[in-house]
Amino acid sequence: MITRPCSPASFRRRLLRRACAVSVTAGLVLGPSVTPAAAATSVSCAAVVAPVTSTAVDGAWSAATRRLAALAGPASFPFGATGGGAYRRTNAYAWTSGFYPASLWLAFGRTHDPAWQTLARRYTDRLLPVAGWRGTHDLGFMIGLPVGLARTLDPERAALYDRALRVAAESLSSRWNARIGALQSATYAGRWGLIVDSAMNAPLLIEQGQAAGSVAGRRLARLGLAHLITLRRDFVRADGSTIHRQAYDPRTGRLLGPVPGQGLSAASTWARGQAWAIAGFARGYALTGDDRLLEAARRVAAYWTAHVPAGCVPAWDLDVSRDSAPRDSSAAAIAAYGLLTLADAEPDSERAAADRDHAVRTLGTLVAAPWLPAADASGVRGVLQGQTYNVPADRREGTYAWGDAYLLAALALLDVS
Ligand code: GLY
């Protein structure tokens, strides 16, 4: 049976309602009628890029759906490709496995075409066993994002999705360390490690904890909030930039210090990490209404908008300014999604307008070539081009499933017609 279709406007409202328990403001205005933000902190990006238009958004979806369809088929999950190399795929246990299913659900939400629902269900079903896996902290990406969308867009199978989301939240909570006040991300050279990207995983605990409403649920929600508060304390510098990875002593909870990762150095600001922080704190605030998360989201967002260059797509690290440096369009897409999420929950209307303005201009860049070649361009793999994964290991730009998913999620938040 086919799920009852929803209009694009209600689709957006439903996406935000899951992400925004506090307040949902009026619909987004697209195109030339966007008022330049009074309180904009953006310097060059907003000055040179026009806001995305409805026509460009339509073109973007048409190119995206064509490319998503081309990635379907084998029983494995699209990951990405660089240069002319082979397009790589993974099994369900890679941290990236949820992004392609999430894109399929977003395509269904946009088109209401049952073929997308069938494909999205097929890929989501392959993911569901991962919910019980305690060996990763990325269950927000792997289960929370795609299954959360499935829960919104496929109510007929709500019980199946609710169970997976609940199990994933319980699995994630098993990584809690009370002395540190956080969920372990990974081990860095043998040390207990935390990564700023985890701001995107903690909201799964808050959301599921709130949904359960039980004593156990309230504990999950408390852990998710506490994790975000620890990230705010240890990862957000005074100027609003973020540290990528930190090591701790798990017996005492003592912070041992930054660990270099995918950025330029332990002292720099990795662009995608900053974008994950914007989106994670914004979502955490939208779910909890906690002022500490609003303050964190505002600061990391302000640092972003003040430091991205003309064109709104930064170099892979915000401390790298050479024009020839590899860029990371996925960071721009995630930041646009985060700024729209923040704008929808932001109680200050001027700040909300500024964040929304930056997001729609960023999307104005990303929906056109070279970042998103037109639907009839040949030889294009994946949706969003010009992404980087880990520049210290591989400088080549390419296309990856996470940038695709967050570009489409940001576009979905624009739907108002
Ligand atoms: N979470 C890993 C990354 O963003 O590359």
Span 185-210, average pLDDT: 97
Nearest residue (by CA) to ligand 1, atom 2, is 197
Closest CA to 261 of 137, 391, 170, 366: 391
Pocket test for ligand 1, best of 276, 337, 384, 388 (most atoms within 8 A of CB): 276
Pocket test for ligand 1, best of 145, 196, 197, 274 (most atoms within 8 A of CB): 197
Span 72-79, average pLDDT: 94
Span 44-54, average pLDDT: 82
Decide if pLDDT at 322 tops 80.
yes
Long-range contacts of 50-58 (CB under 8 A, 24+ apart): 50/361, 50/364, 51/357, 51/360, 51/361, 51/363, 51/364, 52/360, 52/361, 52/363, 52/364, 52/367, 52/414, 53/364, 54/30, 54/417, 56/364, 56/367, 56/368, 57/30, 57/363, 57/367, 57/411, 57/414
Pocket test for ligand 1, best of 269, 272, 328, 394 (most atoms within 8 A of CB): 272
Instruction: Provide the pLDDT for residue 11.
Output: 52
Nearest residue (by CA) to ligand 1, atom 1, is 197
Cα(197) to centroid(ligand 1), Å: 6
Instruction: Provide the pLDDT for residue 369.
Output: 95
Nearest residue (by CA) to ligand 1, atom 5, is 389
Decide if pLDDT at 41 tops 60.
no
Confidence of residue 12 (pLDDT cuts 50, 70, 90): low
Confidence of residue 321 (pLDDT cuts 50, 70, 90): confident
Q: pLDDT averaged over the chain?
A: 90
Closest CA to 331 of 413, 241, 283, 270: 270
Confidence of residue 45 (pLDDT cuts 50, 70, 90): confident
The atom number, within ligand 1, closest to the CA of 276 reads 4
Instruction: Provide the pLDDT for residue 48.
Output: 75
Span 355-383, average pLDDT: 96
Tokens matching residue 158? 């709500």
The atom number, within ligand 1, closest to the CA of 273 reads 4
The atom number, within ligand 1, closest to the CA of 402 reads 4
The domain segmentation of the chain, as residue ranges, is 9-415
Confidence of residue 382 (pLDDT cuts 50, 70, 90): very high
Cα(195) to centroid(ligand 1), Å: 9
Cα(122) to centroid(ligand 1), Å: 25
Instruction: Tell me the C-alpha distance between 168 and 89, whole Å.
Output: 23
Does CATH place domain 9-415 in 1.20.1440.230?
no
Cα(113) to centroid(ligand 1), Å: 31
| Backbone torsions φ then ψ of 135, nearest 5 degrees | -85, 10
153: CB partners within 8 A, 6+ apart: 3, 6, 11, 14, 105, 108, 109, 117, 120
Confidence of residue 240 (pLDDT cuts 50, 70, 90): very high
Pocket test for ligand 1, best of 79, 82, 90, 95 (most atoms within 8 A of CB): 95
Instruction: Provide the pLDDT for residue 415.
Output: 61
Pocket test for ligand 1, best of 137, 262, 316, 337 (most atoms within 8 A of CB): 262
| Backbone torsions φ then ψ of 126, nearest 5 degrees | -70, -25
Q: For residue 49, what is the enclosing H or E element?
A: none
Span 261-279, average pLDDT: 97
Instruction: Tell me the C-alpha distance between 65 and 104, whole Å.
Output: 8
Give CA angle at 64 (58, 66), nearest 5°.
Answer: 105
Q: Tell me, what DSSP letter sits at residue 24? A: -
Instruction: Tell me the C-alpha distance between 25 and 41, whole Å.
Output: 21
Cα(196) to centroid(ligand 1), Å: 9
Instruction: Provide the pLDDT for residue 33.
Output: 27
Confidence of residue 331 (pLDDT cuts 50, 70, 90): very high
Span 138-159, average pLDDT: 98
Instruction: Tell me the C-alpha distance between 97 and 316, whole Å.
Output: 22
Residue 321, Cβ neighbours under 10 Å: how many?
11
Type of residue at 216: A
Confidence of residue 44 (pLDDT cuts 50, 70, 90): low
Ligand 1 — pocket residues by CB below 6 A? 95, 197, 262, 272, 389
Cα(348) to centroid(ligand 1), Å: 31
The atom number, within ligand 1, closest to the CA of 272 reads 4
Instruction: Provide the pLDDT for residue 323.
Output: 82
Lowest mean pLDDT among 49-53, 113-117, 123-127, 396-400: 49-53
Instruction: Provide the pLDDT for residue 83.
Output: 83
The atom number, within ligand 1, closest to the CA of 141 reads 1
Contact predicate 102/405, CB 8 Å: yes
Instruction: Provide the pLDDT for residue 16.
Output: 54
Tokens matching residue 176? 């809690």
Span 58-65, average pLDDT: 98
248, β-bridge pairs: 192, 255
Decide if pLDDT at 184 tops 70.
yes
Contact predicate 381/368, CB 8 Å: no
Instruction: Name the more confident of 19 and 339.
Output: 339
